Structure 1
Amino acid sequence: MTSLDPVLEVLDKDGVRLTVEDAVATVTLTNPAKRNAQSPALWRALAEAGRSLPGSVRIVVLRGEGKSFSAGLDRQAFTPEGFDGEPSFLEMARGSDAALDAVIAEYQEAFTWWRRNDIVSIAAVQGHAIGAGFQLALACDLRVVAEDVQFAMRETSLGLVPDLTGTHPLVAAVGYARALEICATGRFVHADEAERIGLANLVVPAGDLDGAVRDLAVALLAAPRDAVIETKALLRGAGERGYEEQRTAERAAQARRLRDLAGQSD
């Protein structure tokens, strides 16, 4: 990634812009006037961004324009009129169980692709990351945060649950007891605590956020792509495998790498 690499705009719709510069893609939330509040249209655009990534992309950076990463779900979703052209959440709640499950599953697609083994995703988080915003940051592999960051999971306080894939990575990062306390109280988690408990990989001054993310991307690109893919798959599966199963997975992955390297040297 150099300053000479052309920046390709792949997508720009419904509050989401996807640009690609060589091996690094950037997904930007582009509605700072509403603190990048989220909607079904934005979720569909995020899912489309994932499907639109060129095969050359190794790193995906997620960022939000303005002072806040994302203040969460746009409260208009809970009004009787909802969003233009969309069923309101109240209307959806009156539908069948199957229909409601299908709609929520569609919304979750915006949050699932960030952990694909062929990419490493980095959330650059400043200001508010609340509810759906917190879950979107949790969807990424790594989080670099500004000193003014404010994470909060407000769903439980509203009589709901975090349903946009945020519970699994939250528990993986901070443990069950702390995750329960964060969700059930809806309190803010600030930068120093986020770094201490494992929510943030790095905390920097707000003005240094973009530069710190660029430096991390460069460091991640230094290793061969296939080795990173295999390592990420091993680490992601470690929590579900027993010790002996993980040993077996490590041997199989290393055998693939050795054969590949041997083939390159022939």
Structure 2
Amino acid sequence: MFNRELIRLNCTQTGIEVGGLVNYSPARYLARFRSFLAAIETGEESYFQSYELKVPDSIPCEPGADVRVLGIGSGSGEVDRAVLQKVLQRHNRVYSRVVEPSEDMIKQYKELVRVDTSLSAVKFEWRQQTAEEYFQTKGDAKFHLIHAIHVLYYVEDIHATLRNMWEQLADGGYMLVGMESDRSDWGRMEYKLREMFSPDESSTSFCTPGDVKQWLDSTGISYVTSEDETNVNVTECFKEGSEEGMMLLDFLTQTHDASCDPEMRSTAFEYIRRNSSVVDGKILFRSVTEVIVASKNN
């Protein structure tokens, strides 16, 4: 099975940019994200529920006021939905400001809200902006919960972004950041690919949970961390001609058409081969999400 490495597919570009998948085409990114969700061994529902469990049970809020939630880089809304459903267990009135640069992603999010009646009690405000653009025009609003799940990897200045998030957090509120652990098999593969294929940017433009904790430590902010391990079934990646495998490899490398570049494909396959396990004929690759929760106790 591991020897079937040639994937004969139509390639739409020759330039390879590690980490450029989401910027190349939000629609294609979403399709590849769906492939990733389908490959999770515990299932999509369990994957999103893991984020719901990280939201604090009690979020302080002024009497009679809406609980205000700020989502940075909300994508198509699946993770946001899990977060908001947890908040709705304790609060009847919720206001959610969604910051997402992609018009296509916002359309997907709005459609999710339209069909999911569990979110009917949430008042949404949509901001089609990058994190950097948003914080230049954020205004004076304060939020009881601010979350950024798998979105801070490529911000221009991680410390400035975290500082802006913290400044918008209300006293007693919580900031929640989730990222792939730099100690996981998947996280280490990202480093390897960037060192090989984007050496000029590898040290400056890819942020990790370690960068988040470094900033929190330097500013004297206390926090708690937890890790969730997930096995991803990557068997399809090694099947010749598998479109599903191609899309999954693109997502794992965060690179558009990674499977069309022989060197990158070979490097990724070799790494996965050395760092995966085979269970019941399935090739399983380990992902570890680290979630960091800080409370603003002034």
TM-score by length of 1: 0.28
In proportion to residue count, which structure has more strand?
Answer: 2
